[in-house]
Amino acid sequence: MLDRTKQMKDWLTEKKCKALVETLNRKHFKATYCAEARQAADYILKEAQEAQSIGFGGSLSVADLELTITLMDAGKEILNHGFPDQTPEEKVTIMKRQQTCDLFLTGTNAATTDGCLVNIDGIGNRVSAMIYGPNKVIVVVGRNKIVEGDLIDGIQRIKADSAPANAMRLGKNTPCAANGFCSDCDSPDRICLVTTIIDHKPRGTDMHILVVNEDMGL
């Protein structure tokens, strides 16, 4: 019975993922459907062949693909401000270099069914690199990030699901990190400071979007 339930869920989410891909392509993104995360990983490794410097935007969706060691073994320079034992100054240097890297890898907090990528950042390094700077940007979108609604629904998804979990993961001293609920706080540790909406492909950015029929990230 559980297998049958999974089959039906996978069929339904496949339709939604493919519909989003069609919408994104109409908006001039290079959108691709991936039936599973492994396909997304293979796509990224192929696109990374010509890149020397590769930036990681702090995405759990990308981290789940476990690409770092493979890319390092291929001689790539990895720009990841999330590596342990980095000083604050080293983190800032890496985040600035991500803005002009050859390939930038990130997820998105929400993707609406009308083809908008909605993101909320604390510093802004991730969203700024998504929009302009790197030679190529690849955005990994798990099926759990698809929002059937408008921009307000996309922001609500982030506030309700992504932000509290990320604040807890990052060890932030915010109400949501303690109780799991957004309270639109004024905490110095607040991570909801910069909201961006990518409505169509940015003109100066080679942006690829991989829509994956698996739950990925928060």
* Per-residue pLDDT tens digits for 127-174: 999 999 999 999 999 999 999 999 999 999 999 999 999 999 999 999
* Per-residue pLDDT tens digits for 190-212: 999 999 999 999 999 999 999 99
CATH number of 2-212: 3.40.50.10420
State if pTM tops 0.75. Answer: yes
Write down the pLDDT at residue 143: 98
| Plot region of 94 (φ>0 → left; ψ -120 to 50 → alpha; else → beta) | alpha
What is the average pLDDT across 87-106? 97
Write down the pLDDT at residue 1: 53
80's tokens: 């990841």
Q: What average pLDDT is seen over the chain?
A: 95
